[in-house]
Amino acid sequence: MQCGLSPIVGFRFSLHPMTNDFISVIKGALQETDTSNVWMHTDDVSTVIRGKQVHVFNVAKALTLHAAKTGEHVALSGTFSAGCPGDTSGDAYLDKGDNVANTDTTKQYVSSQFALYPMNNPNYMDVIYREVERAKELGVFNESMHYASGIHGDIHDVFAFYEETFTHARSEEHKHLVMTVSMSINSPSHGGL
């Protein structure tokens, strides 16, 4: 059990293409994405990637962008985690450098929602309010809602916000941070379930 401000970040997620061809959309996204900087494991419900924060966010964005470029309606749901006292130091790929492997800058509108859960932190509501302010300052805030905040814009701006927020919402004193993200792309109806 490693209890410092662990450099290991994880993202457990599912990518859901709403099409009969969902398998080929997912396989295509995996083929187009360089995942060599993260440890990755897939089971029957979700996929987890682990490694340095910079690579976890880079791979998450690249997989999502490649799936989006098919033009199909795709949804991403997942949880970023760091600093869990029960976490292990294995499966971490911490020997990787800091240069990101995926650099596709294609623009893509995404609508998303996130929630921050700073664990065992009496001031966690302050952290949440501060990070929502950050979204407003960065121009990616969409709307307030029960249990989450709406974040939207170009996929690169949205993921940049999420990575920045994930950095700022944890500290050496409060290491364990969880952030849920749901994202909808190419939605045919902005009133769909």
Residue 42: what are its φ and ψ, rounded to 5°? -115, 135
Neighbours of 12 (CB within 10 A): 17
Q: Which does 117 bind (CB under 5 to 8 A by kind): Ca ion, a second copy, none?
A: a second copy
H-state helical runs in 19-96: 22-32, 53-68
Q: What residues contact 157, with CB distance under 8 A and at least 6 apart?
A: 138, 139, 140
Contacting residues for 124 by C-beta, under 8 A, at least 6 apart = 116, 117, 118
Q: Which of residues 126-185 bind Ca ion (CB under 5 A)?
A: none
Q: Does 190 bind a second copy (CB under 8 A)?
A: yes
Q: Does 106 bind Ca ion (CB under 5 A)?
A: no
Q: Which region, judged by CB under 5 A, interacts with Ca ion, from 20-28, 48-56, 107-115, 118-126?
A: 118-126
User: Running DSSP on this structure, what letter comes out for residue 85?
Assistant: T
Please indicate if the annotation marks 15 as binding a ligand: yes
Total residues in contact with Ca ion, by rule CB under 5 A = 2
Residue whose tokens read 């990755």: 40
* Sole window of 10-18, 53-61, 97-105, 133-141 interacting with a second copy (rule: CB under 8 A): 10-18
- Annotation-wise, does 63 bind a ligand? no
- Assess 122 for contact with a second copy (CB under 8 A): yes
> How far is residue 64's CA from residue 66's CA, in Å, rounded to a whole number?
6
- Can you tell me which of 97, 120, 123, 139 binds Ca ion, judged by CB under 5 A? 120
H-helix or E-strand spanning residue 76: strand 74-82
Which residues make up the interface to Ca ion (CB under 5 A)? Answer: 120, 122
Which residues make up the interface to a second copy (CB under 8 A)? Answer: 10, 12, 14-20, 22-23, 26, 30, 41-48, 50, 73, 75, 77, 79, 81, 84-87, 91, 111-113, 115, 117, 119-122, 124-125, 128, 143, 145-148, 150, 178, 180, 182-184, 187-193
